[in-house]
Amino acid sequence: MTDTKDPRIASASAHWSHRFVTNGVPLADFQDVTGGLDHWDQWCAAWSERAARHEAMGDAAMADGHVRSAAEHLTTAGVCYHFAKFLFVHDKDQLRAAHLKAVACRSRALPYLDPPGERVSIPFETHTLFGNLRRPNGVERPPVVVMVMGLDSTKEEMHTNEQVFLDRGLATLAFDGPGQGEAEFELPIEPAYERPVSAVMDWLETRPDLNADRAAVWGVSLGGYYAPRAAAFEPRIKACVSLTGPFDFAEAFDRAPGLTRAAFVARSGASDDAGARAVAARMSLRDVADQITCPTYVVGGRLDRVIPPAHAEALADAVSGPVVLNMVEDGGHVANNRPYAYRPQVADWLADILTP
């Protein structure tokens, strides 16, 4: 009997479970949804249907006044809606519908989380960027971790990533920059990512309830390029974290999985691989990494199939300031299969640097 399952679904089932579960999707949901699909075209609808179950439970809990439960259900709904659309770039109508639901669910949850959060608007040149700000309990003017998304991540995926920092007295600001989440429909990927990060730093200085003088930048996957790129040019950044980011994305582009390449083509504003490759060619730290003087923490995954571990090693070798290289020997991309090997370590490291 011939196996007719789309190889993209087979690849998703084989490689994505750690990321989904680590970032808030119940394991049974991952198994049920991916196990019931035969073709990639079914992906967004199936995940949106599963997300809607969690959203309905959130609505019911909210109606009953159980706001803590409602926030938990809505957060799960938001991350499921996010994963419905995250690489589904070939059907923009389905993508946008799932995206709007992800934003709506997470935004509804924010005020009722512990600690609570707020949706914020950040001026960026002639545009507006949107973020989710959360402040730790019991800290009057906390330091801030500015959380930079990757190619296929958005602020709605950051709940579990935020928690380790909040638990250590650090505020978190997860935001969607150019080519990401709420900005992907208007702004293409920006290789010079110091531009949006500088706008975020300007905005932080307007908030008397945050200590903008003690701010770090944290970036995941392609955000692991964006964060050090920003740190090379933005002197207000006091520390930088790069999670399995590319040192030279042009070198990594052609070896990336097909869905990843397609997402980069779409979000870079290019019309084909050649145009996207030209954008990728502008995304290298080779000529700027030596300008990074703040403390830098680099995470690599020795088994990373998306960004080879040599990229993390190259960044650690190139920066001018103090550096920690945490190479997770049995870690995949973002080491989502071994979150305990880097998440608490990164959070402790940042707390040591940022806490007065």
Q: What is the pLDDT of residues 315-325, one digit of tens each?
A: 999 999 999 99
pLDDT tens for 143-183 read: 999 999 999 999 999 999 999 999 999 999 999 999 999 99
pLDDT at 3: 59
Q: What is the mean pLDDT of residues 34-40?
A: 96
Residue 316 to residue 338: CA distance in whole angstroms: 21
Give Cβ neighbours of residue 20 (< 8 Å, ≥ 6 apart).
30, 83
CATH architecture of 1-113: Up-down Bundle (1.20)
Residue 296 to residue 293: CA distance in whole angstroms: 8
**Third-level CATH fold of 116-356:** Rossmann fold (3.40.50)
Domain coordinates in residue numbering, the chain: 1-113, 116-356
CB distance 90 to 139 below 8 Å = no
CB distance 79 to 157 below 8 Å = yes
Residue 239, SS3 per DSSP: strand
| Letter string b/e over residues 229-249, b meaning 16 or more CB atoms within 10 A of that residue's CB | bbbbbbebbbbbbbbbbbbbb
Residue 46 to residue 51: CA distance in whole angstroms: 9
pLDDT tens for 236-269 read: 999 999 999 999 999 989 888 899 999 999 999 9
pLDDT tens for 93-107 read: 999 999 999 999 999
Is 155 exposed, middle or buried (CB count within 10 Å of its CB: 0-12, 13-18, 19+)? buried
Give Cβ neighbours of residue 63 (< 8 Å, ≥ 6 apart).
none
Mean pLDDT, the chain, rounded, equals 97
| Lowest-confidence segment of 5-14, 213-222, 269-278 by average pLDDT | 5-14
Please pick, among 221, 242, 268, 284, the residue that the annotation labels catalytic: 221
Per the annotation, the verdict on 221 as an active-site residue is yes
Retrieve residue 33's tokens: 């949804």
On the question of pLDDT at 2 being above 80, the answer is no
pLDDT at 356: 76
